[in-house]
Amino acid sequence: MRWVKADMHIHSVLSPCGDLDMSPSKIISEALGKGLEMIAVTDHNSTLHVPVTVELGKENGITVIPGAELTSAEEIHCLAFFEDAKQTEKFQTFIDKHSSSVPNNASRFGMQIIVNEKEEIIGEVAELLIMALSAPIEEIEQTVHLLGGIFIPAHINRTANGIYSQIGFIPEGLSADAFEFSGNTTKEALVVKYPELGTYNLITNSDAHYLKDIGSKITEYYLEKPSFDEWKMALKNQNNRTLRTL
């Protein structure tokens, strides 16, 4: 058992807000340089960069957990993670079913390009990925868990697109595996402000849109090895697995 440094909220060039340098290969290189052992690329409403990033991670000795950042019907950002390609593909089908058909305006929002392991452009997503899905947060959470995934509301303390900024409370019955916070606050300060968070694990990640920001905020997990199953146990404080924010 050992402490594993992880950044589980990173955007690639597929996200319109992601810098054009945020290719899967450069993300892996930057993560390795920062001493990270486990990461997730969580593009807005899309898992299309998951396969190439997972493979590059395997080649370079870093664990990449398949993930995405969803925008619920309430415009709440939430993170979803899966163990394997089959689960991820099924979730992408769910995303597609609930996606908006609003076209992207690249000059306003940014390009949404798909690249391969050699950084060659192999496609572009036409629909704007930052639009809200038609599914409410409860339906997203239930779908993630039905597929065996991990569900984490993102940057809950932000003044936009966080669960508190959008609806002001945690819905009764919402089964979150953890909550992510951002910025310069602490877990202790958040629990003082929102006492209901005291029963949950709170984690932090970089939410990086630029290479330099990868690893700027991390959580360490006490694991036997970096893997989906081990991480899931740490989020639940099971079998001596645990976590700490840095």
Give the model confidence (pLDDT) of 7-21 as tens digits: 999 999 999 887 788
Domains and CATH numbers, the chain: 2-245 (3.20.20.140)
> In whole numbers, what is the pLDDT of the chain averaged over residues?
93
Q: What is the pLDDT of residues 227-239, one digit of tens each?
A: 999 999 999 999 9
- What single string gives the DSSP state of each residue in 19-83? -TT--HHHHHHHHHHTT-SEEEE--BT--TTHHHHHHHHHHHT-EE--EEEEE-TT--EEEEE-S
Please tell me the predicted confidence (pLDDT) of residue 117. Answer: 86
Mean predicted confidence (pLDDT) in 215-227: 96
pLDDT, tens digit, for every residue of 49-98?
Answer: 999 999 999 999 999 999 999 999 999 999 999 999 999 999 999 999 99
Among 96-110, 147-161, 169-183, the least confident range: 96-110
| Section 142-159 average pLDDT | 96
Please tell me the predicted confidence (pLDDT) of residue 105.
Answer: 85
Q: What's the confidence (pLDDT) of residue 100? A: 86
How does pLDDT run across 179-194, given as a tens digit for each residue?
Answer: 999 877 888 899 999 9
Tokens of residue 65, six digits: 């957990």
pLDDT value of position 111: 84
Cα separation of 175 and 81, whole Å?
14
Rounded Cα distance, 92 and 67, in Å: 10
Closest CA to 194 of 222, 153, 233, 235: 153
The pLDDT, as a whole number, for residue 198 is 87
Mean pLDDT value of segment 34-38: 97
